[in-house]
């Protein structure tokens, strides 16, 4: 099936990378797309791009009742893009309380897992389809200044592999995306080079079309990935100096 014949669902479509995914898929003339956000009123501009094919739905991925409500409406999905995520830019030890770490795990790991669990049978019913999980290059190495975010993305990276294995028998492709820094609100305070959201989106859509399972879009992600393959300890030490 080509991308334009897909029925997509994008989590966190209201801004950042999720909005870029939605805009690009709409521009490419996708058959149908469910754009989702915690506040669905923020999706109006996407709907205006093509009211016939763009369906807005409220979805907080940490709320099981929201997921069940979306499931009841979006039974024709063939491409699930698990984009929603949060980063509290918090250290593991050097912050008061454990709430940041819990929120990141609830969103980036449990929320994403819940979406995979909910939509696996839907994809199966629709012939197999594709799940894209937006992870991070910090899935591979801990950045202490965002220590708990890194942990949540490492958990999601492992989940991505396990889900891929479990769904291999139902013709569902599972694509893991490990970006470096992207120019969105999440990386507002990062002063180094950032990839444009649209470039990350194009790399992911190309990977789907080419049947590539693991995507490291952009120069930073490529450099860390290659460095990690050659000498994981050296990459750990390189990142270890960034303690908040």
Q: Which residues bind ligand NAP (CB under 6 A)?
A: 11-12, 14-18, 37-39, 59-62, 83-87, 107, 111, 134, 136, 179, 181-182, 184-187
Closer of 1 and 86 to ligand NAP (Cβ): 86
How far is Cα 117 from Cα 225, in angstroms, rounded to an integer? 28
The least CB distance from residue 67 to ligand NAP, in Å, is 10
Q: Which is nearer to ligand NAP, 7 or 186 (by Cβ)?
A: 186
3 vs 67 by CB, closer to ligand NAP: 67
| Distance from chain centroid for Cα 182 | 12
Q: For the CB of residue 229, give the shortest distance to ligand NAP in the complex, in Å.
A: 19
Residue 15 CB-density burial (10 A; 0-12 exposed, 13-18 middle, 19+ buried): middle
Two structure tokens written together for 211: 């049947």
Q: Is 37 exposed, middle or buried (0-12, 13-18, 19+ CB in 10 A)?
A: buried
Q: Do residues 195 and 179 make contact, with C-beta atoms less than 8 angstroms apart?
A: yes
In the complex with ligand NAP, the residue whose CB is nearer, 170 or 222, is 222
How many angstroms separate the Cα of 190 from the Cα of each of 5, 15, 23, 180, 183?
Answer: 37, 18, 25, 11, 9
Give least dist CB 166 to ligand NAP, A: 21
Residues near 139 by beta carbon (within 8 Å), at least 6 away in sequence: 150, 153, 154, 156, 157, 176, 178
Whose Cβ is closer to ligand NAP: residue 39's or residue 210's? Answer: 39
Whole-number minimum distance, CB 85 to ligand NAP, in Å?
2
Rounded to a whole number of angstroms, the minimum distance from the CB of residue 108 to ligand NAP is: 6
């Amino acid at each position: 099936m080509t991308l334009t014949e897909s029925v997509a669902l994008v989590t966190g479509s209201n801004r950042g990378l999720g909005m870029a995914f939605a805009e690009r898929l709409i521009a490419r003339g996708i058959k149908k797309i469910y754009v989702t956000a915690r506040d669905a009123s923020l999706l109006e501009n996407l709907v205006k791009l093509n009211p016939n094919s763009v369906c807005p739905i409220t979805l907080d991925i940490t709320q099981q009742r929201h997921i069940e409500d979306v499931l009841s409406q979006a039974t024709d999905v063939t491409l699930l893009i698990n984009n929603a995520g949060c980063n509290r830019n918090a250290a593991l030890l050097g912050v008061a309380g454990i709430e940041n770490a819990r929120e990141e795990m609830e969103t980036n790991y449990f929320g994403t897992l819940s979406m995979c669990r909910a939509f696996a049978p839907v994809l199966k019913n629709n012939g197999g389809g594709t799940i894209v999980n937006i992870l991070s290059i910090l899935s591979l190495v801990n950045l202490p200044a965002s220590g708990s975010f890194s942990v949540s993305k490492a958990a999601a990276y492992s989940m991505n592999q396990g889900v891929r294995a479990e769904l291999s028998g139902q013709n569902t492709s599972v694509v893991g995306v490990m970006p470096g820094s992207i120019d969105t609100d999440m990386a507002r305070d990062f002063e180094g080079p950032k990839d444009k959201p649209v470039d990350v989106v194009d790399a992911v859509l190309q990977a789907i079309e080419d049947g590539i399972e693991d995507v490291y879009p952009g120069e930073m992600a490529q450099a860390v990935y290659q460095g990690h393959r050659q000498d994981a300890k050296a990459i750990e030490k390189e990142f270890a100096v960034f303690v908040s």
